[in-house]
Amino acid sequence: MASDTPSSYRNLVIYEIYVRNHGASGTFIDVERDLPRLHTLGVDILWFMPIHPIGLLNKKGSLGCPYSVRDYREVNPEYGTKEDFTRLIQQTHERGMKVMIDVVYNHTAHDSVLVKEHPEYFYQDENGNPVTTVPEWSDVIDLKHTNRGLSDYLIETLQDWVELGVDGFRCDVASLVPQKFWLQARAKVDKSKPGVIWLAESVHANFVGARRANELTGLSDSELYTAFDMTYDYDIWSIWQLAVQGKVPVRRYIEMLRYQDCIYPQNYVKMRCVENHDQARIMRLAPSRAQAMAWTAFEAFNKGPFLIYGGQESGTKHTPSLFDIDKVDWGDYSLQPLLSRLAKLKKDPAQVDGKFVVVQADPAIQAVWEYPGKNLYGIFNTSGKTGYIMVSLHDGTYRDILNDGQVTVRSGKMLLPEAAAIIRYTDEILVRPAYCELLDYSFTGR
């Protein structure tokens, strides 16, 4: 965890945009027209997937992947001009939102502007040809860190973008780039613009292990936290996916949340999400729509910033292709009201200054944000079951602020919500976290 990371980052709502597929024309202007809706949704940061020119040599699909970057210092002409992007930044700032761009510093396109001029910046085979260290990524070639000239070029590029108005960087496969580089980059960018937000796409643990086994860079999340404000949730993602699909008990996932609390700095920031451009949509992953909504609500309620992937508001099951035009089917934005309420709750005093406790895992996750006089109690029906459940609430009638309704507790029981309910309560209640029953961290030594 970077020493100067504000704890308020846990309450951010980040929105991921793939410009090519976001609007009818796939341009910055399309996104600009959508800003009023995104502001109403409750977004704090717009994260743009790579906005740079895409490589043509060895490209995948008809248009190539945005993560195969030809020139870090320019914008993709398909999206518009740099002036268009500058205006988009300004319009975003006027609505009180920030702009984050994708940084792809592990690899470039085969026809990157750097290849001919600086072949020494790249991994090479025995014939001197630039190569990738991840064979399935055939449309890219890997940068060979650390090279003083390469580092200077990349950091100067970051400084150029913050001077244009960019507020943050989401760093692609950050675990594959040396820690020394990230520390240097953060320090130098901070001199240009203090307070830039750094989000690391940390990778699955088995990927880190495979990299290290081949004597390549593979940073753990703990190493990334020295330079980054936030990391991905991929350290426990596999368990989460299995829990969503009903292949392992939900309590296993809750155990892993507790594990994060134990191994990272006390004020660590983990970005929570239920989908992104690399993962299946939650509406496809979960067994039912109601369960998908329950998981969405829980991850927004969970400790950490919440990511919304463009199109999630429509409840779509389709993940757009990275390599072709594959527009989002927006429909009637059926989930926008739910996401908007969840986004608003991220700014609730209980979530900002309270203590997060998971009370129970099955048949519904029950979790509490404890804050004197303004506690929040969430019930998330991830099992899809019906009937009554025991809750740690006093008998009475409570307002469900997520659905703008009411719930009644009698004899310590309440009816399971179809998807989720979030209740405000003022009294103190005795809660026993589910993970206290699941994990024994007791110290028996002297």
Q: Are 210 and 269 in the same domain?
A: yes
Instruction: For residue 1, tell me if it sits in a domain.
Output: no
Q: Which residue has the higher pLDDT, 4 or 283?
A: 283
Instruction: For residue 373, tell me if it sits in a domain.
Output: yes
Q: Are 381 and 263 in the same domain?
A: no
Q: Are 73 and 158 in the same domain?
A: yes
Instruction: For residue 443, tell me if it sits in a domain.
Output: no
Q: Largest Cα–Cα distance in the chain?
A: 76
Q: Which helix (H) or strand (E) holds 11?
A: none
- H helices within 226-277, ranges in order? 237-244, 250-263
Q: Are 404 and 342 in the same domain?
A: no
Q: How far apart are CA 369 and CA 297, in angstroms?
A: 14
Q: Are 343 and 361 in the same domain?
A: no
Nearest to 386 by CA among 294, 301, 248, 317: 294
Report the predicted TM-score, pTM, of the whole model to 2 decimal places. Answer: 0.95
pLDDT of residue 67: 98
CATH number, domain at 23?
3.20.20.80
- Containing domain of residue 106, as a range? 7-352
Q: Are 67 and 41 in the same domain?
A: yes
Instruction: For residue 444, tell me if it sits in a domain.
Output: no
Instruction: For residue 146, tell me if it sits in a domain.
Output: yes
pLDDT of residue 300 exceeding 50: yes
* Domain-ending residue, one of 331, 352, 373: 352
Instruction: For residue 314, tell me if it sits in a domain.
Output: yes
Q: Are 240 and 373 in the same domain?
A: no
* Domain-ending residue, one of 352, 380, 405: 352
Instruction: For residue 16, tell me if it sits in a domain.
Output: yes
Average pLDDT over residues 402-412: 96
pLDDT of residue 445: 38
Q: Are 364 and 273 in the same domain?
A: no
Structural contact between residues 339 and 45, judged by C-beta atoms closer than 8 angstroms: no
Q: Are 347 and 359 in the same domain?
A: no
CATH number, domain at 427?
2.60.40.1180
Q: Are 316 and 393 in the same domain?
A: no
Task: Work out how many domains the chain is built from and give that number.
Answer: 2
* Domain-ending residue, one of 293, 319, 352: 352
User: Using one digit for the tens of pLDDT, what is the confidence trace for 250-284?
Assistant: 999 999 999 999 999 888 999 999 999 999 999 99
Structural contact between residues 13 and 272, judged by C-beta atoms closer than 8 angstroms: no
Nearest to 353 by CA among 10, 1, 2: 10
